[in-house]
Structure 1
Amino acid sequence: MTKTTLSIDSEFVVLNPNQQASVELADGGLYQRLDSAYNGFAGHQLVSCYAFSANWPSWERHPNGDEIVILLSGQTEFILQTDDGDVSIKLSRQGEYVLVPRNVWHTARTEGSCKLLFITPGEGTEHRPA
């Protein structure tokens, strides 16, 4: 390792199936590298950080595991589509988090800006328009 201090804002972490960590630059080629360098991301998790200032333009779901989303700053509302209807989960204090179950479609609405930390089982992630 060449650096002793890393930033989740610019360097994401990939956890392999053996829980070994690799650092990946959070740039425009990230997701292509994840597919090619990590066996289609099979069995891997991505620890990432994103800032949002508008509602998500799409829904997503993760068929290979639960996703953890932690609020770092701001406020946001997660909408989960369950068999019993939509569930709204508001995150308004730093450190609050939502557990998004495997295969549950979800999106986020935000007023102002927010920053979120994600722990995502990325293999097979699906998207659809909001």
Structure 2
Amino acid sequence: MRDIAKEAENVILKIKDQNHGEISLKTNQIRKFLTAVNAITNKVNVYKAKHLDATELPDELAGEIQFLKVKAAYQAGKERENKKHKNNVKEFMEQSKMKHHIEGIGTSISKYEEFAHYVEALVAYHKFYGGND
């Protein structure tokens, strides 16, 4: 079984290590993405409450999950790289393999829930290891 917490911790530690012991990514830089994940999680929970035996998501909800790739790309693209600073959001999205994780969900409820927990763990370790608000 995949250790989501350890995977998330390793991502944050790698980012910190590559940036000379500092996490310059700020929570507000990824807030819209996190808000989108939480909104979908709420919809998934409502769907599960109405369809107790369901293991798969309807296409519409699965489509919203796949659209998270666009939101991730937008957040990464908003921040311009310059000579003094890296594109922190892009680095975060790449190191966390966000696009890969989203694509792996398909219509699976359990895979989405695993993904949502992974995002939660990334945020928690970001804060724990010194990420700024």
| TM-score range normalised by the length of the shorter chain | under 0.3
Whichever structure has more strand as a proportion of its residues is 1
TM-score of the pair, normalised by structure 2:
0.22
Whichever structure has more helix as a proportion of its residues is 2
TM-score of the pair, normalised by structure 1:
0.23
